[in-house]
Amino acid sequence: MKEILAKEVQEALAQGQTLKLIDVREVEEVQEGHIPGVIHMPLGLLEFRMHELNKNEPYIIVCRSGARSGRATQFLESQGFDVTNMVGGMLAWEGEVQ
C-alpha cells in the first residue's frame, strides 16, 4: 500500500499541484473541517460509489487518523484503483480547512 504524509500533501497543494483527495470520514466529521476541494465518500458507501472514480487517475485517501483511509486504500487498490493513504489523517493535517 502506498502512503504519503499529510505534510507532503500540504506541500504539493501549496505548489499548485492538482490532487484528487477522497475523504472517507462520516458527514458530521467532514462538516467540522475538511481539506478544500476534497471528494467526500464515507467509508461505508465506498463500494457503492466507486463507479464515480476513474481508474486512470491517482487518488489520495483521507480520514481522521489514517486507519479508515488505510482500509479504503486497500479496498480500492484491490479493485484496480491508483490510491495512496494519507498517513496520520486530519489529525496530522496543518493546512487550510473549510
Spatial separation of the C-alpha atoms in residues 45 and 5, rounded to whole Å: 25
Structure confidence at residue 71 (pLDDT): 98
Q: Give the active site residues.
A: 63
Average pLDDT of the segment spanning 38-52: 97
User: For the sheet containing 58-62, what is the strand order?
Assistant: 2-5, 82-87, 58-62, 21-23, 39-40
For the record, the C-alpha cell of 19 comes out as 490532487
- Mean pLDDT, the chain, whole residue set: 97
Runs of H (alpha helix) within 3-95: 6-14, 27-32, 46-49, 67-78
At 88, the pLDDT band (50, 70, 90 cuts) reads very high
3-state helix, strand, coil in the chain (%, to 5): 40, 20, 40
Structure confidence at residue 62 (pLDDT): 98
Structure confidence at residue 93 (pLDDT): 97
Place domain 2-92 in its CATH homologous superfamily: Rhodanese-like domain (3.40.250.10)
